[in-house]
């Protein structure tokens, strides 16, 4: 397979679009991510591909907790304030509306349909530009009923983060 075809094939994979929130002492953070998947039933484990240089990576490394906020497609505007990194938007949490998840204290963003909160089990350096964070699901809730097909996915925004 040619490199360009491999890239095209990877861009065909369906990816959700989530906000990963984290906290450590007095700091809370939110970013967007799409490389997220459940990877175990017992215990319930979530894996997140997270860029090593991201601000969130450091917050999660220190705090050892994160949450995955899920949004319905019709609520896509709610997630937009978190699409810019800290270098472009250092005060993005200043006006953020959120509550704290009961087990981890991570932000649960207003407008999210559901969330799961996780305690870090492992951070795996796979030798690339992203690490794999594995978290055990310790809590979660549904605020807006939805089916999997109702949730926001990257192509609905006309965006891609693959290849």
Pairing of strands 65-70, 27-33: unpaired
| Residue 107 and residue 28 in contact, taking contact as beta carbons nearer than 8 Å | yes
3 is a domain residue: no
pLDDT tens, residue by residue, 49-84: 999 999 999 999 999 999 999 999 999 999 999 998
Supply the mean pLDDT for the chain: 93
- Residue range of the domain that includes 46: 14-157
Within a domain: 2: no
pLDDT-derived band at 90 (thresholds 50, 70, 90) equals confident
From CA 19, how far away is CA 69, in angstroms rounded? Answer: 5
Three-state secondary structure call for residue 7: helix
Mean pLDDT confidence for 114-123: 98
The model carries a pTM of 0.93
Q: How many domains does the chain have?
A: 1
CATH code, 143: 2.30.110.10
Q: Round to whole Å and give the CA distance between 40 and 70.
A: 19
Nearest to 124 by CA among 33, 10, 39, 22: 39
Q: Does the structure show a pLDDT above 60 at 97?
A: yes
- Assess if residue 8 is contained within a domain: no
Calculate the CA 59 to chain-centre distance: 13
Instruction: Map tokens 């095209």 to a residue.
Output: 8
- Is 136 within the bounds of a domain? yes
Distance CA 107, CA 100 (A): 5
Query: Is the preceding omega at residue 43 within 30 degrees of 0, hence cis?
Result: yes
Domain assignment of residue 61, yes or no = yes
User: What pLDDT does 157 receive?
Assistant: 86
């Amino acid at each position: 397979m040619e490199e360009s075809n491999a890239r095209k094939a990877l861009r065909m994979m369906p990816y959700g679009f989530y906000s990963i929130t984290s906290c450590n002492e007095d700091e809370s953070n939110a970013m967007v991510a799409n490389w997220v998947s459940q990877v175990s039933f017992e215990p319930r484990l979530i894996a997140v591909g997270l860029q090593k240089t991201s601000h969130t990576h450091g917050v999660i490394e220190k705090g050892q907790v994160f949450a995955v906020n899920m949004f319905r497609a019709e609520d896509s505007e709610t997630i937009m304030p978190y699409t810019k990194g800290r270098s472009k938007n250092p005060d993005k949490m200043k006006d953020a509306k959120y509550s704290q998840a009961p087990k981890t204290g991570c932000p649960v963003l207003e407008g999210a349909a559901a969330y799961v909160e996780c305690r870090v089990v492992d951070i795996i350096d796979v030798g690339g530009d992203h690490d794999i964070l594995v978290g055990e699901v310790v809590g979660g809730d549904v605020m807006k009923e939805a089916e999997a097909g109702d949730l926001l996915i990257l192509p609905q925004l006309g965006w891609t983060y693959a290849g």
